[in-house]
Every structure is written in structure tokens, then in C-alpha cells.
Amino acid sequence: MNGMYKPIGTLLVASLMFLATGCFKNPTTGRRSLNLVPEGTLSSLSGEQYSTFLAQNKRLSGTNDALMVQRVGNKLAAGIVQYYAQKGQSSILNGFKWEFNLVQDVQKNAFCMPGGKVVIYTGILPVTKDETGLAVVMSHEIAHAIARHGNERMSQGLLQQFGGLALNVALSSKPEETRNLFNTAYGVGTSVGVMLPFSRKHETEADLMGLDFMAMAGYNPGEAVGFWQRMASGAGAKQPELLSTHPSDATRIQNIQKHLPQALAIYSTKK
């Protein structure tokens, strides 16, 4: 009997140690979150999953749209590097090796894996309309990665599914389940239609961080209101906000408008 309980006790101790040390403080917003998975480990897994995704989907290159994705991505990356350098927080971007790709898919979707691995679906381009609209989407998705929202979701999933099992152990003992957990946490291949539904807290945080990021890259953050209005008009019937993972369209736009003066102040220095 004691032999049966020993592994469980060891696991509980390990989980408690993770809980005590796996806390991440977002340097932009100050919000603390549970991050059990080392970013280096996630970046390694990200590279594998990103390559697999691109191999299984039609990646576009050389087209006007594909070149636009590269152009906007590179401008955002440069702006974000400068943004955190000015704050003395460059370490938040340790391990980032930026990649920006456009894939042929009718979904209105996009995602960013750890390390700055970004995918844009062609289905969202009619809603973005132009470079600035695309910058809204890309800066929002990059903000999710920088704020480690996916790590937070995956940490919660590891606790729920595997009792806090370390990622390397979960990968070796349950590789398919663990990779599915990663893909779900980062929205890889999701079919939700309106980008991966992070929690309302995550969505709001990514919206506001994204405004500052696009402003630093020289894109007018005021255009974010129009983009989210266009997304809302094509999203169909929605649940009440309390029953939804997303903030309501009205709440999202109100939050963006409240933050716009700060983002526009950044933008004014880039014109």
C-alpha cells in the first residue's frame, strides 16, 4: 500500500513546487499567471509543431499577400524589440526567432506560437483589408505569446489532465495527448472561426498590448476599432458575455477606446 501512494505523494510535492515557482509576471500589465512550462521547452516544441503545421497546410510565398504578411511581421518585430528595450525589459523576448507565414485557408484565423512563430490564414484578409488591419491581428496574436497566455493555458491543462506532470515526462509517456494539448493551447489548426478564444482576461490583455505594439511599429492603433467592428459584424449570433470566453464586442471596443490615448501617444512619436 505504501509503495502505491509514494509516487502520488512525490507528484503532489513536485506539483506544489511548480506552483510555488511557476509564476510569471507580465512586465507590461503586471498581471501574474501560472506558467509551469519552461519557455525554452515550449520554444523547442513550438518549432517542431510549427514545421509540422506548415508541412500539412498550403503555405503561400511570393504573392502580394504573403509579402505583406512578411513586411508587417518584420515591422512589428522591430517595434516590439524597441518597445521592450526602452523599458529595460528585453529579456521577455529571449528565445524569440520570428517567423511569419500565410497559409491558404478560409477560416478567419491567426495564431502565434512561443518564440514568435506566426501564422495568418487567408480567410481573415478580407476583414483586415490592408496592412494596418493586418497589424491589428498580428500584434494581438503576438501579444498572446509575449504574455505567455498559451503557457498559462497549457499549465492548466497539464494540471487537469496529468496532475501537473512535467512536460518532458508527459511528452515521453503521452506524446499525442501532450501535443494535442499544446495545439489547443496555441490555437494550431483550430476551427473556431474567429481566432482562438482565450479567456476574456487574456483577450483584453492582448488587445491592449497589441495596440502599443502596432503603434511602435508605425501603424495607427485607432484602426483597431474598425477591424473589431468588422469582425463583429461577420460573427453571427453570440452568447451573452457571461457565457462567453470572449469579451462582448461592445466591451472589447470600449476597452480599446479607453487605451487608445496611450497607444496614440506612442504612434505620434513614429510618424
Compute the distance between CA of residue 160 and CA of residue 75 in angstroms, rounded to an integer: 38
Classify residue 242 by its DSSP letter: G
Compute the distance between CA of residue 247 and CA of residue 256 in angstroms, rounded to an integer: 12
Catalytic residue among 39, 99, 141, 152: 141
Residue with cell 487608445: 260
* Nearest Cα to Cα of residue 113 among 48, 64, 34, 168: 48
Backbone angles phi, psi at 120, to 5 degrees: -115, 135
3-state secondary structure of 262: helix
Rounded alpha-carbon distances, angstroms, from residue 254 to 43, 55, 203: 34, 40, 13
Tally Cβ neighbours within 10 Å of residue 21: 9
Rounded alpha-carbon distances, angstroms, from residue 76 to 24, 148, 207, 215, 229: 24, 18, 15, 9, 22
Residues shown for the chain: 271
Q: Residue 119: in which H helix or E strand, if any?
A: strand 117-121
Query: Does the active-site annotation cover 141?
Result: yes
Tally Cβ neighbours within 10 Å of residue 83: 23
Compute the distance between CA of residue 211 and CA of residue 138 in angstroms, rounded to an integer: 11
What are the residue numbers of the active site? 141
